[in-house]
Amino acid sequence: MSTASDIKKRLEENWNRFLISNRAAISSATLVGSTPPSIFVGRHGYPKIKVGPMLAPLHGDTTILDMPEMWIGKSIEEIVNYRLSLIRGVSSININTTSGKYLESLQELAMAKESSESEATFEKKPITYTDQNKDLPMDTESAPFGPIALLKTFKTSSSLSVDQKIENAFYDRDLRAADAVTLLYNNGIEISKIQRVLSMGMLGTQKNRKLVPTRWSISATDDFISDYLIKNIRVNTTIDFYEVYKYSHIGNHYCIILIPEQTWIFEMLEAWFDKNGNLAFGAEFEDATGLDHYPSIAGAYFAARLGIAEHYLKVRKSGGALVLREIHPEYVLPVGVWQVREGVREALNGDSNDFDSFEQALSFACISLSASEKEWQSHSKFYKNTKEQTRITDFLQLI
């Protein structure tokens, strides 16, 4: 098994190989290549932010470079390589800008169904994190980004074929953003594409449209869709047992307990190793009234909740869920909350182990985790509630 230091070393070696093999393209103020399509909307300097296309010094189909739905089964080295090979050309734009040739070209790109050959000219050659003597870029919400440069001009060298479903939502200026997001989702549009058009200010009523930083649009999309799904599963019959599912990828280990509750409850617990090698924990809980604050564990919460709600809708059942996520040292670089969403989806696509009690389910779930059962219990609000609350079934047993 590779250690964290082994993985970091390979990441650096792969990055250096990329720089060497693409030195001519990266060193130039002009880049001709293919965009997946991909667009970056930053958050620093808000409300005046950096916005622009991302393209690679490659030609042909580069879809995989910016479509997390295709990354399950890939190593962390492969995923990071996809992202670092995308060069960002950016211009400063106010979030309330809704028109203009440059913005309209990016909006058209956001609706594209396939990769497009493009050309970008920069004010100066792209800057890499290596040029700045910095470590690999880290962002817990979105996948890593590659070199960046101020954009002078940008154009696609071929006519774009846009997705008609996305275009229809774009031109419907009376549809609220949340409704547009769920409409696209129900029409089979990938979540990564929905996030992209939401980020570009292309959804919602006309007066409320604005650019949304990529980091924020990711969480908003997961939140909108999961809220919608939760409302729809409430009419379903409840599951019969405590169902436990497990899945591991790129240093993240998931144990999911589906709970036979009449009303919606959802809890997510995270554990990770700090710099001293000790386990640290994060937790968030919601009941049927929902969450009234932004979760302390950030976008991972909404991504996991979406995966749970999708599963209940698929099997036409309802209930609650406890998601245990344990992050091991080999997860050397955050690659985005997409991996939480896809990790939960993959877990629930597998077989379950069923139990009659929550205690039995939790004991089984914890077998494959580093944190002890007692440690998970001490951070779980749901576990605390099961110990403190008297249920009607408990009362009937006394009669």
324: three-class secondary structure by DSSP: strand
User: Phi and psi (nearest 5°) for 88?
Assistant: -95, 125
Instruction: Output the pLDDT for position 84.
Output: 85
- The pLDDT assigned to 276 comes to 87
Q: What is the predicted pLDDT for the residue at 375? A: 96
What is the pLDDT at residue 158? 66
**pLDDT in the model for residue 136:** 54
CB 63 within 8 A of CB 53: no
Per-residue model confidence as pLDDT tens digits over 96-124: 987 889 999 999 999 999 999 999 999 98
pLDDT of amino acid 132 = 46
Under-70 pLDDT residues of the chain: 1, 24, 128-143, 158, 389-399
At 8 the pLDDT is 79
pLDDT tens-place string over residues 320-367:
999 999 999 999 888 999 999 999 999 999 999 999 999 999 999 999
**DSSP, residue by residue, 138-207:** --SSS-----EEEEEEEEESS---B-HHHHHHHH-TTS-HHHHHHHHHHTT--HHHHHHHHHTT-SS-GG
Q: Where are the beta strands (DSSP E) in the chain?
A: 30-35, 39-41, 48-55, 87-94, 116-122, 148-156, 237-238, 242-249, 252-259, 266-273, 279-286, 317-318, 320-327, 353-355
The model's pTM is 0.91
**Residue 277 CB neighbour total at 10 angstroms:** 7
3-state class (DSSP) for residue 305 = helix
